[in-house]
A and B are shown apart, each in its own frame.
Chain A
Amino acid sequence: MSHQALIAILLLSPFVGFLLNGLRYRSQNYVLAGSIATGAVFVSFICSVMLMMDLIAAPADQRRLTANFFEWIAVGGFKVNAGFVVDQISSIMILIITGVGSLIHLFSIGYMHHDKGVTKYFAYLNLFVFNMLILVLGDSLLTMFVGWEGVGLCSYLLIGFWFSDAAKAAAGMKAFITNRVGDAAFIIGMFILFFSFGTLNMYELNALAPTTVEASWLGAATLGTLMLFIGATGKSAQVPLYVWLPDAMAGPTPVSALIHAATMVTAGVYMIVRLNPMFVAAPNTMMIVAIVGAITAVMAATIGLTQYDIKKILAYSTVSQLGYMFLAVGVGAFGAGMMHLMTHAFFKALMFLGSGSVIHAMEGEQDTRLMGGLKKYLPITHFTFLMGWLAIIGFPLFSGFFSKDEILWQSFASPRGSVFLWVAGAIGATLTAFYMTRLMALTFWGKSRVPKEVHPHESPVIMTIPLIVLAILSVVGGFIGVPHLIGEYLGHIPNYWAEWLAPVIKTLPEAAAPHTATQEWALMTTSVTLALISAFVAYRIYTSGKGTNEAIAKAFGPVYNVVNNKYFVDEAYFGGIINPLVKQSQNLWMYIDVNFIDKTTHVISDMTKGAGSLARSFQTGNMQQYAMYIGLGVVVVLTFVLMR
């Protein structure tokens, strides 16, 4: 089959699924709806695999399959095609999206079977996959932006899926509007790049990227990429626009797994990798990206320490892990960023689905304080979750270990890295190990705190299969990109990942400072040891039952309070921006529209009316007065005529 046809099927299959389910949205036949949706995504997955095989078969410098369907916009010199491209980067993304996506769809059949809106749910989910595929396959920034906004829309619909709950509807709205803030910057970024380089096509942009790095803050590449990055902070939930993601947990859990962990939120990372030559040319932007990534990684991890809602913990963990990815791309380790994107997709989707399984078992309860000891009720869920836990804390040889370690090493060793970034990353890793262990301990281990009326039970096969598959991927997924250093010890495993991406990744122009293998070993050992120690501490605290709310709150005092309240960021936004804005708008309306403009018009109309009533006072209806006016008029006219 031709590439065009494959790409078309890849894209349209979820869309057809969306239409099929969307048109019969009233149906409550969850098996049919789920089969259609899962099938649609699975078809896409098969297409992705076929495209990937084609790519692998092609010579390394020709690994790019394009499909141009039609000219979308053409105005003056601005031309954008509905063009899609599968290359080394997007092929990985489509595999993740459709692969993990299929598993999550499958899981949803079990998870959502009791919901009345199940068909609508699957329709939205397919629409999301469609938009996500547009995002990653689009060959220009604008086509990417189509998907970019499209996934935001689906996210809005799915977060607010149970819309009759005002808080959930509000969470959806918050997600969309926060994303819009980023999108507005993204639009400006596109303009800057277009008017500086004359195209929005990403390959052309990359080819046109300045070869010498821009030292100035006001260069086109720097400003353009900075604006795009602001867009990315919205979509990928980075400081300062991360606030929507924790709230987004209002959506169904599989949605959190698919959209808010595995795929959509990584779009920002993907965008930067996609445009890496442009970012490489803008070291200032890269610096910002790395710093924002590091801050996010640590800050979100600290908030994760204090949360009790199982999904909220995972949400902050996601924000934190996304921070790692930005840290990676910010120091120029694009391959490591992509690698972490993939492994994170595996283990975080796994853990979200696992938490879904737990919530399912707990009949909707999400508070970890009411769980504990679930290990014996949910053996499969527990075991798969355990794999995810090992992966995320970076236990050696699990997938997360390879990607996270590579990021930490690069943040230190890269010419654009620094020891501070490494320290932030290491702190983040330590905290991650702590809160994830805490999550495990509170949920699965220790004594059961489950209320008597709840009877936890293992989820059906349709839900455990995706868990098992993802667990396997979480364990072995990292071996595709084993760092050179470790690879040598493990029998010379080549770093397939780096080789695969090498043609599309631009190396940093700066020469790397010489680093020794000893340094790398030392840093790796340090971070792993720190993580393991903190995991052990967490294990001790939370399985022993000492880790109660009050005890910890007392121990840390006001610090705990600030962290527990998420640094009051939401409050600051509402108090500092949103509420004053609404209030000032009210004033604008009242004082400018109603009291100024309308009043002014009324004054003018009153003046006209006044003049009218003045003239009217002459029109008394008294004949004699009229005659007098005539007489006076005659006198005036006569005087005028005779005096001349």
Chain B
Amino acid sequence: MPETNILTTIGLEHYLVLSAVLFSMGMAGVLLRRNLIVLLMSIELMLNAVNISFVAFSKFNNNIEGQIMVFFVMTIAAAEAAVGLALAVSIFKRFKEVNIRFFEHLKG
């Protein structure tokens, strides 16, 4: 009986499934939750789900470009988190809560 290496038996599909599951969770959070912090976290989750598929494709296709893209995504995610949190803080300061419905007050 050949030794089964867990690392070798895990194929691309597994990564993609994981990525899809994480992405769906993130998307559900974005669509359904009202708390800004949770929203930001959900977005983060979706981005990271994408990152997983990038890395997985990179690995299985022997192509480094996917991993480079991940760095871009992480940078963007950091920037996005910074801006998003700043908004969250200012919303919190104003309304003592971070529900996104308060963003409606931003319109003229």
Contacts and interface: CB of A to CB of B under 8 A. Distances in A.
A/B: CB atoms within 8 Å of each other: yes
Interface of A: 621, 623-624, 627-628, 631
B30 A621 contact: no
A623 B107 contact: no
B27 A621 contact: no
Given A631-B27, A631-B31, A624 B100 contact: yes
B31 A624 contact: yes
Contacts of B32: 624
Contact of A628 (B31, B34, B103): B31
Question: Chain A's interface: helix, strand, loop or mixed, by majority?
Answer: helix
B3 interface: no
Nearest to A624: B31
13 contacts: A621-B107, A623-B100, A623-B103, A624-B30, A624-B31, A624-B32, A624-B34, A624-B100, A627-B30, A627-B31, A628-B31, A631-B27, A631-B31
A154 to B, nearest CB: 70
Interface majority SS (helix, strand, loop, mixed), chain B: helix
Contacts of A628: 31
Interface of B: 27, 30-32, 34, 100, 103-104, 107
A621 to B, nearest CB: 7
A444 B83 CA distance: 116
B54 to A, nearest CB: 18
Contacts of B34: 624
The residue among A621, A624, A628 with the most chain B CB atoms within 10 A of its own CB is: A624
A621 B103 CA distance: 10
B104 A621 contact: yes
A631 B26 CA distance: 12
Contacts of B27: 631
Given A627-B30, A631-B31, 12 more contacts: A621-B104, A621-B107, A623-B100, A623-B103, A624-B30, A624-B31, A624-B32, A624-B34, A624-B100, A627-B31, A628-B31, A631-B27
A628 B31 CA distance: 6
B103 to A, nearest CB: 7
Nearest to B39: A624
Nearest to B34: A624
Nearest to B103: A623
Across the A-B interface, give the 10 residue pairs with the lowest CB-CB distance, nearest first. A628-B31, A624-B31, A627-B31, A627-B30, A631-B27, A621-B104, A631-B31, A623-B100, A624-B30, A624-B100
A267 to B, nearest CB: 78
Nearest to B27: A631
A322 B31 CA distance: 97
A490 B32 CA distance: 126
